[in-house]
Chains A and B, each alone.
Chain A
Amino acid sequence: MSAPILELDNIFTDIAQYHILHGVSLHIPEGGVHVLLGRNGAGKTTTLRTIMGLWQAKQGAIRFRGEDITKQHTSDIARKGIAYVPENMGIFGGLTVEENMRLATLDGSFDQDRLQRIYTLFPALEKFWNSSAWSLSGGQKQMLAIARAMIEKRDLILIDEPTKGLAPAIILNMVEAFREIARETTILLVEQNFLFARSLGQTVAVIDDGRIAHSGTMAELVEDVALQTRLLSLSLDAHQ
């Protein structure tokens, strides 16, 4: 396995008086899709927000390509090549699709090859290029949020529950898009949808009550029904 692009070492994060993460340690190898699974409230979103510096870790260290980014400002972390797609998508509704995309470029100009790839993956974005982002459907907004993370070369993309509330046809579209993105970028995907996660993930970590309860390859988890049941209270058989 390649050297980790991202390491979380014994991270503790509090939100107000609540202790959310209790010593989370993760090693994300470079390349491919890596999944963080867990039920609601387990600490998945907090983990991503702590990596981005949106919430400060109280203790522990976060290293990106070996550099300690634990106390760095969110914008500095983003400029190191980490993109973030939040659960609520973070779309600027009052801006057009084009303006949303332009904002995701650091110098305001588009790489036309990348733009064409995005249009191929998400044709709706080309169609609604000059429309207000408010006018997009939920699925189109998710496409825009992901396209924004793709418009420039990033080393790592953190994506929080991208399938939430989406129709199955759009989820299939997402799988294709993530495979395309993963050719050049590492993805850390937070999910509850195990079927979606297993179709993409190479490694998986399961978080429960702010602690990593399991980590390993996705293949191991898919084959071990007892482990699935223990960790996630589910088995793939029940989903098929």
Chain B
Amino acid sequence: MKSLTTLVERLGGINLLPVLLAIIALVLIGSPSTWLTLTIAGLSMGMMIFLMASGLSLVFGLMDVLNFGHSAFISFGAFIAASVLAALAVWVAADSVLLNLLALFAAISAAALFGLVAGWMFERVIIKPVYRDHLRQILITMGALIVAEQIILAIWGGSPVAVPRPNFLSGSLIMGDVTIEIYRLFAFGLGLVTYMALHAVLNRTRVGLLVRAGVENREMVEALGFRIDRLFIGVFAVGSALAAMGGAMWAGYETLITGAIGSEMMIIVFIVIIIGGLGSIEGSLLGALMVGLMGNYVAFLAPKMALASNMILMMAILLWRPYGLRPAVK
């Protein structure tokens, strides 16, 4: 038993959980082609959720701030991206991959830039006065979320808004019996690149070192001579930009969005950061992949259980590891 544990640890330990989940699903699903389609769908969904969740996890971990307004950035990101894509409809529909890419880049950049600026303002105006007071944080960020949803309603209206997909991301790759949506592959790739960039910043730069230390012990970082509150503004703004970027990607995935898109995703985002462990980017990725895969497998195997499956997953993981899979603080 001990040698098996050592072997599992050497192979990646807890990081193997998504692989284990995929193997179990393969046995239950039976058909490899269906399984592969669902697995790729689950991984790409997981990566989009990761984009939305990673910033919130750092904000939670670094400053112990409960930001229920995070979903507003997801919603705004989705609608801004939809508007930019609609404005660049000619590029979006063009046969040129370059024009398609430019339109997509403009949409995602606009969403991320909005998240960055709005996140900075949100922290200064809404969050700063309620540091160290969870009840007020919940009340004021919930209030801000309601206001944000009303602003979206006022600007984009109550009817669902269509999100045009760039031409090169439409359609699917068909390999034998396996059908893979190109958009999902793109979402997976973008999520992976973002994760690698975040990982590099957190592990190879001094700012990243300060963030990781701050997640563990804010007070000690300040006693070493660093202003954690200033660092937090940056983390909050980047986290909001990531949420908006995730919202933009999710909008393209859904193709039809409403003002409730952020609130609908928020439950899943919270599940992901709780499963992953607060303050940990690796934990957020692991949690997001588990949630994405679980959602897709269960929706195929037992559709009526799809909504409950992630809650059950969260309960099971918390019973096993009360602080999540990879918490930043042990």
Contact = CB atoms under 8 A, between A and B. Distances in A.
Interface of A: 52, 54, 73-75, 78-79, 84, 86, 90, 92-95, 99, 102-104, 106, 108, 134, 148
Given A54-B219, A75-B225, A78-B223, 8 more contacts: A78-B222, A90-B219, A90-B223, A94-B216, A95-B216, A99-B212, A103-B209, A106-B225
Given A108-B206, A134-B330, A92 B223 contact: no
29 contacts: A52-B223, A54-B219, A54-B223, A73-B222, A73-B227, A74-B222, A75-B224, A75-B228, A78-B222, A78-B224, A84-B223, A86-B220, A90-B217, A90-B219, A92-B213, A92-B217, A92-B220, A93-B216, A94-B212, A94-B215, A94-B216, A95-B209, A95-B212, A95-B213, A99-B209, A103-B213, A103-B221, A108-B206, A148-B224
Contacts of A108: 206
Contacts of B328: 94
B329 interface: yes
B20 to A, nearest CB: 25
B226 interface: yes
A86 B222 CA distance: 13
Interface in B214-257: 215-217, 219-228
A148 B226 CA distance: 15
A189 B226 CA distance: 24
B223 A102 contact: no
Contacts of A102: 209
A93 B329 contact: yes
Nearest to B226: A75
Most chain B Cβ neighbours within 10 Å, of A52, A79, A84, A90: A90
- Quick one: which of B222, B225, B228 has the most chain A CB within 10 A? B225
B223 A74 contact: yes
B63 interface: no
Contacts of B217: 90, 92
B74 interface: no
A93 B330 contact: yes
A54 B226 CA distance: 13
B210 interface: yes
